[in-house]
Amino acid sequence: MKRRHFLGHLTTGALAGSLVSSATTRAQTAPAAGRLMLTPMVLMAPRADGCEAVWAVRQLAKGRIEWRTDDGTQGEAASDAFGFVPQGQKILRVRLNGLKSGQTYRVRAVTTATDTGETETTDWKTFRPLNPAAKGTSFVVWNDTHVNNATIQQLHEKTPAADFLLWNGDTCNDWKTDDILVPTLLHPGERDITTGRPLFVVWGNHDVRGKHAFEMPGLVATPEGRPFYAFRSGPVAFICLHTGEDKPDTHPSFGGRVAFDRLRREQATWLTDTLRRPELRDAPYRVVFCHIPLRWVDEGPQDYAKGGFDRHSGRSRAAWHDALVAWKTQLIISGHTHRTTWLPPTAEFPYGQLIGGGPAPQAATWMEGRADAGRLQIVVRDLAGAVKHDVTLKPLA
C-alpha cells in the first residue's frame, strides 16, 4: 500500500499525532557527547501528565528538566520522590509531572557537576504528553535490534515522528558487562531515537540475560515503575506485558537468577484489576505488546537440554489468555522469532498475532500504527520500504 493512500484514509485528529516531520527526525542525530553528559536526554514512559527523562553522565552530577510552551508558560522538574535534587554518578532520571494532556512542550536537561558547579544544557526537544481523549493516535514499533547499529540507524532514519515509539524487546544480546548498558539503551546506534517520539520499552528474553541484566531497570523508565503497564492514547488502549525467558526458570543457563513464573502470575493478578479501568475497559481498540508471541505456527514441545527454546510463550498464554479474551483483545504485537508473521484470529484465539522481523538489516522491519474513529491500521515494512503486512481493525461496538 502506498503511504499517500494509507494516510489519506485518516482523519486530521489521527495525523496530529506527529510532533515533527519525518525529515526533521531524520536530520536530528544525537550531538557529540558533552563534558558532563555522556548521552542525549532520552524521553521515556510518556503519560497523560508527563514523562521521565533519563541520561548518562561522566561524573557525579545533579540534573533538572526545564520546560516551556508557546504561550510563555514555563516550569521545571527538579526533585525526586525522596526530596533530593535528582543526582547520580552514572545516570540521571527526572520525572515530569503535572503537564497538560495533548499540550506541546519544549523540554531541555540541565546538568551540573556536583564538585565543580560546571553546568551543561541541552538543546530544546519537543514533547507532547499522551492524550487519551484525542480522536486519533499514531505509534511506531521496533523489535529485536540486538545492538545491530546499521539496523538501528536505518530504523531511526525511516521511522516517522509519532505519539510514541515502542521498543518491543531484545535491545541487546545479553548483559555480560555493565559498560554496554548505557550506549545500548540511551544512545543506540549513536542516535537520539526519542526525537519526535517518546519511548516505551518492553522487556525481551535477551534483555534479562547476563549477570548485569538486573541493572537494566535503572536505565529504563516505565509509567508505573514495573516492566508491565497499561496506557491509552487516543482511541486505543495498550497493555504491555513481560513474557520473561524462552526456557523454564530452572534452566541451568540462568544460574538461578530468574523468577519469571512468579512474575507471570503477578501480571495475571494485575490484569484482573487493570482491565477494569474505564479508559481501558471502554476503548474502541485494544492492543497488547509483549516480546515473545503468545501464538506461533509450530507450538510443538522443545528439547531444552539440546538447545531448544520457545518460539511462543505458552507459560504466559496459560496465565493471561482468559483475561485477554475477556477484555476483547484484538491484536498482540510481538518480536522474538526474527521472522515477520501475521496469524489472524481464530475461534480458539480471538486475537490476532503480529510479529516483527530480525536484527540484520535484510530481516528488520518496523511497524506504523494509526487509529481514528473508523479504523486502526498497522502496516509492517522492511527497511527497503516494502509492505510485509497490512492489518486493519474495526472499532469494538
* Residues 367, 307 share a domain: yes
* Residues 155, 63 share a domain: no
Where the chain has pLDDT below 70, the residues are 1-33
- Write the burial class of residue 225 (CB in 10 Å: 0-12 exposed, 13-18 middle, 19+ buried): exposed
Give residue 376's pLDDT.
98
* Residues 301, 242 share a domain: yes
Four-CA torsion 114, 39, 197, 268, nearest 10 degrees: -80
* Residues 152, 59 share a domain: no
Q: And the C-alpha cell for 218?
A: 535503572
Q: Looking at the 3D structure of the chain, how many domains does it have?
A: 2
Whether the Cβ atoms of residue 268 and residue 319 lie closer than 8 Å to each other: yes
CA-to-CA distance for 122 and 110, rounded, in angstroms? 7
Q: What is the pTM of this model?
A: 0.91
Which CATH number belongs to the domain containing residue 221 in this structure?
3.60.21.10
In a domain, residue 335? The reply is yes
Give residue 11's pLDDT.
32
* Residues 359, 242 share a domain: yes
* Residues 376, 287 share a domain: yes
CA-to-CA distance for 379 and 281, rounded, in angstroms? 25
Express each pLDDT in 55-76 by its tens digit: 999 999 999 999 999 998 999 9
Give residue 78's pLDDT.
94
* Residues 142, 68 share a domain: no
In a domain, residue 4? The reply is no
Range of the domain at 148: 137-393
Candidates 25, 233, 237; CA nearest to 129 is 233
Domain boundary among 127, 157, 184: 127
Give residue 14's pLDDT.
34
CA-to-CA distance for 90 and 60, rounded, in angstroms? 7
List all residues 6 or more positions away from 359 whose beta carbon is below 8 Å from its beta carbon.
Answer: 144, 145, 146, 148, 151, 170, 338
* Residues 75, 223 share a domain: no
In a domain, residue 141? The reply is yes
Domain boundary among 77, 98, 127: 127
Give residue 28's pLDDT.
38
CA-to-CA distance for 290 and 166, rounded, in angstroms? 10
Give residue 397's pLDDT.
82
Give residue 17's pLDDT.
34
* Residues 374, 268 share a domain: yes
Give residue 33's pLDDT.
59
* Residues 176, 325 share a domain: yes
* Residues 142, 105 share a domain: no
* Residues 90, 45 share a domain: yes
Domain boundary among 104, 127, 150: 127
